[in-house]
Structure 1
């Protein structure tokens, strides 16, 4: 077994991390978005399928395209965040499997022939990759605020008009405003949610 991360790392990633509900007007170097992806891409997905696609909405012009699709409570904080990431799924992710998962030469054809299985696999694994995005952001010193309050159809029409990608959820990234940080909500105990067999 490898050694555990130290307490600072565990606090940064989990114990002291909070959902960011608002952001300070602090710029983030655009190179950070590539650094973030270069970390999250190593997180495992089934068959190395990597179906998540990311749009880093950073400019005021791009945010003006996104804001109409957001619920009222998500608009201002998304404008103030350094980026709002649209975490989407590639409905034809399996086209990359011949290079991403060469161990199964007919994987592409199996998913192409089973749209329900492809949709289920894409959503499950893209959501998992969105979780990796949050952890990668925290590891780079950013705060993250994942959100569901938006109109998927509007986002898809505006950002993915060809229909290949479909929005899953959004994540605001930047430097959290400490005045907007809420007290940590309780978590369920191990015995309430888990069993060891």
Structure 2
């Protein structure tokens, strides 16, 4: 393995950490746009890309978000320069003609799925997209602190009152305070977590 490849893997995986404490340094909107430009390139089912993001930065937006955050995560979100609300668009299929032009019938096919199955597909792809956002942010020099400890209904009421988008995850983004990191916790081995069938 080349030295450059080893450094890339360290940046994205081996040395990357989940951050919960942040340096008081703003994140430029142009950098957030670059994160999305990279993250959107990852694959999703039928290229549907139902993930939607709201980058919460302003004091007013934080004030709307914080009541829906569980107490354990309150300060993590309050102090993060940016908190991305990862959501899915329940009407994602409307974009299928743009996203899958070779198969114009895909809009009607996906619109015809049972609502529960369509929501599951959208939610799964949104979680997959969140992983791409994490890797893109790390690749561009940001630290990330994903968390699920929040009330999705509260976030949806505050940010998506029309009910079209539905939140699934929060991602704190910024420049982490490495002095506040604990030692890395262990991971399961291949033999513990994997089977080859």
Q: Report which stretch shifted further, 68-77 or 3-12.
A: 3-12
Structure 1 stretches (4+) deviating beyond 6 angstroms?
A: none
- Which residue of 2 is the match for residue 104 of structure 1? 103
1:35-184 matches, within 5 Å, as 35-114=34-113, 115-184=115-184
Instruction: Tell me the distance in 2 between the aligned counterparts of 1:124 and 1:151.
Output: 18
How large is the Cα RMSD of the aligned pairs?
A: 1.4
**Aligned: 1:27 with 2:26:** yes
Report deviation, 1:195.
Answer: 2.5
Q: Answer whether contact 1:111 1:117 (CA < 8 A) is retained.
A: no
Normalising by structure 2, report the TM-score: 0.94
Normalising by structure 1, report the TM-score: 0.94
Q: Answer whether contact 1:60 1:79 (CA < 8 A) is retained.
A: no
Instruction: Tell me the distance in 2 between the aligned counterparts of 1:99 and 1:174.
Output: 32
* Residues 156 and 4 of structure 1: CA distance in aligned 2, closer, same or farther (over 3 Å): farther
Instruction: Tell me the distance in 2 between the aligned counterparts of 1:58 and 1:38.
Output: 19
Instruction: Tell me the distance in 2 between the aligned counterparts of 1:59 and 1:155.
Output: 16
How many residues of Structure 1 are paired with residues of Structure 2 in the alignment?
Answer: 195
Q: Secondary structure of 1:144's partner? A: strand
Report deviation, 1:4.
Answer: 9.6
Structure 1 spans left out of the alignment, 5+ residues: none
Deviation string 1:8-59 (CA, Å, 9 cap, x unpaired) is: 1100100011111111111222211111111111111111100000000001
Instruction: Tell me the distance in 2 between the aligned counterparts of 1:121 and 1:175.
Output: 32
Deviation string 1:158-197 (CA, Å, 9 cap, x unpaired) is: 0000000000100000011123212111111111122334
Instruction: Tell me the distance in 2 between the aligned counterparts of 1:92 and 1:4.
Output: 44
Instruction: Tell me the distance in 2 between the aligned counterparts of 1:30 and 1:97.
Output: 27
